[in-house]
């Protein structure tokens, strides 16, 4: 019985660390076709997508962005920073 408490505490800590690690990398749906991973706030992600759609510059607020076109219409936007991603699709 003396070993049960330290083992239970260790298992609890490992579970908490696993939840924190997966929570930061899980995709968040910001609405309007925008999804974010890596903790970028939704308001900022939407602003970055809007700016890329307007200017079509490769760098927007530090993010490297690219888009997919079809018939002159923008269909998807991908913006990346290390450990952060923003995706928009119409």
CA distance 7 to 10: 5
The predicted pLDDT at position 20 comes to 43
The predicted pLDDT at position 8 comes to 52
pTM across the whole model: 0.70
If phi over 0 gives left and psi between -120 and 50 gives alpha, with beta otherwise, what is residue 14? alpha
Q: Scanning the structure block, which residue is given the tokens 């018939």?
A: 71
Query: Mean pLDDT, 10 residues at a time, over the chain (90 residues)?
Result: 55 48 72 94 96 94 94 93 94
CA distance 19 to 21: 5
Residue 17 has phi, psi (to 5 degrees) of -65, -40
């Amino acid at each position: 019985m003396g070993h049960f408490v330290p083992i239970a505490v260790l298992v609890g800590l490992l579970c908490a660390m696993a939840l924190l690690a997966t929570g930061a990398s899980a995709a968040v749906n910001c609405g309007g076709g925008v999804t974010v991973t890596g903790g970028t706030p939704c308001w900022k992600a939407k602003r970055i997508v809007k700016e890329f759609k307007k200017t079509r510059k490769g760098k927007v607020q530090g993010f490297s962005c690219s888009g997919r076109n079809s018939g002159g219409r923008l269909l998807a936007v991908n913006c990346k920073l290390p450990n952060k991603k923003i995706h928009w699709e119409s």
